[in-house]
């Protein structure tokens, strides 16, 4: 059942879960970085294999979520973060799908047979409502200049096939952990499945992955070593079998140690 009152939220609140990620090197101010390959607690994740990817219901390296309880919902009731430098904001996201073997030197379409999403979009369905699409680097790429003709073909959350998403600019020699998000077609609000990726320009070398995620919460960080938290009293639904991880908005390249607390309630 849903948590409908403050008393129910307090009664169902779990002990806070702490997280920590060590220092890293990002791409540049204004870019995004995922610390899923960065040491800390939780530890480093391993990407799935295969171009078609995996619909995720568990993931080594994901942040902790309480075990499912029959009939109960899990709500995020507190999320905080602080950083040692170059992180202007932290997203808490649920990773729904991830693939592992885009060929970095192929510039034509690489077809994908998508397995379908788990039922964890913002409506609790597999339709892709509110689901973002990104490209993530796990081994630095070798392209000497920015790539501006990268596209993906997808089916949107309303079931319209053959939609085209684009990356405005994928940076030169993108570092491990770098993330670029795809811009969706006009009017679209989410990605249900991905049918193909066209890099357009060779990345020369490196390892890159497509991934889909649902944003859960966001905290802005305005200064190094000063923490921030999501607004008091807010609750965010966290579906069973979620795979939470982090995404940083960068203000520079030298990422300091980043840490925080997560508190859930069930009821």
The tens place of each residue's pLDDT in the chain, 267 residues long, gives 577 676 677 778 899 999 999 999 999 999 999 999 999 999 999 999 999 999 999 999 999 999 989 989 999 999 999 999 999 999 999 999 999 989 999 999 999 999 999 999 999 999 999 999 999 999 999 999 999 999 999 999 999 999 999 999 999 999 999 999 999 999 999 999 999 999 999 999 999 999 999 999 999 999 999 999 987 667 899 999 999 999 999 999 999 999 999 999 999
- Whether residue 244 is contained in a domain is answered as yes
pTM of the predicted structure, to 2 decimals: 0.95
φ, ψ at 196 (rounded to 5°)? -175, 160
Distances (CA, A) of 202 to 98, 102, 183, 231: 21, 11, 20, 43
Give the pLDDT of residue 231.
Answer: 77
Total count of domains within the chain: 1
Identify the domain containing residue 168 by its residue range.
6-266
Give the pLDDT of residue 80.
Answer: 97
Between the two ends of the chain, the Cα-to-Cα distance in Å is 6
- Whether residue 158 is contained in a domain is answered as yes
Contact of 177 with 39, CB cutoff 8 Å: no
Give the pLDDT of residue 1.
Answer: 57
Give the pLDDT of residue 115.
Answer: 98
How far apart are alpha carbons 73 and 54 in whole angstroms?
25
Helices H / strands E in the chain, number of each = 1, 19
Give the pLDDT of residue 235.
Answer: 85
- Whether residue 131 is contained in a domain is answered as yes
Give the pLDDT of residue 257.
Answer: 97
- Whether residue 200 is contained in a domain is answered as yes
Which residues, listed in sequence order, are joined to residue 229 by a DSSP beta bridge? 80
How far is residue 96 CA from its own chain's centroid? Answer: 8
Give the pLDDT of residue 5.
Answer: 75
- Whether residue 1 is contained in a domain is answered as no
Give the pLDDT of residue 188.
Answer: 98
3-state class percentages of the chain: helix first, strand second, coil last, to nearest 5: 5, 40, 55
Give the pLDDT of residue 11.
Answer: 75
Look up residue 228 and give its two tokens: 């921030």
Contact of 78 with 263, CB cutoff 8 Å: yes
Distances (CA, A) of 120 to 126, 168, 176, 218, 237: 6, 28, 27, 18, 10
For residue 42, whether the previous peptide bond is cis, meaning omega lies within 30 degrees of 0, is yes
15 C-beta neighbours (distance < 10 Å), count: 8
How far apart are alpha carbons 230 and 148 in whole angstroms?
34
Q: Whats the size of the chain, residue-wise?
A: 267
- Whether residue 94 is contained in a domain is answered as yes
- Whether residue 190 is contained in a domain is answered as yes
């Amino acid at each position: 059942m849903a948590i409908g009152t403050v008393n129910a939220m307090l009664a169902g609140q779990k002990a806070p879960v702490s997280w920590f990620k060590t220092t890293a090197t990002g791409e540049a101010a204004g870019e995004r970085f995922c610390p899923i390959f960065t040491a800390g607690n939780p530890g480093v994740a391993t990407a799935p294999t295969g171009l078609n990817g995996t619909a995720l219901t568990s993931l080594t390296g994901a942040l902790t979520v309480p075990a499912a309880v029959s009939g109960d919902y899990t709500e995020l009731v507190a999320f905080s973060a602080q950083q040692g430098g170059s992180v202007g904001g932290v997203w808490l996201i649920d990773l729904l799908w991830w693939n592992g073997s885009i060929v970095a030197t192929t510039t034509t379409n690489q077809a994908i047979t998508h397995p379908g999403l788990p039922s964890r979009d913002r409506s609790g369905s597999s339709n892709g409502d509110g689901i973002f699409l990104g490209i993530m680097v796990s081994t630095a790429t070798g392209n000497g200049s920015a790539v501006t003709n990268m596209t993906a073909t997808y089916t949107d959350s309303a079931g319209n096939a053959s939609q085209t998403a684009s990356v405005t600019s994928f940076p030169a020699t993108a570092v491990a952990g770098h993330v670029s998000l795809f811009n969706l077609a006009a009017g679209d609000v989410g990605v249900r499945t991905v049918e193909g990726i066209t890099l357009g320009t060779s990345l020369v070398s490196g390892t890159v992955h497509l991934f889909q995620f649902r944003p859960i919460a966001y905290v802005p960080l305005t200064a190094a070593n000063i923490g921030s938290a999501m607004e008091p009293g807010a609750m965010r639904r966290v579906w069973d079998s979620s795979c939470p991880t982090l995404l940083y908005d960068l203000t520079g390249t030298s990422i300091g140690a980043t840490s925080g607390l997560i508190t859930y309630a069930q009821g």
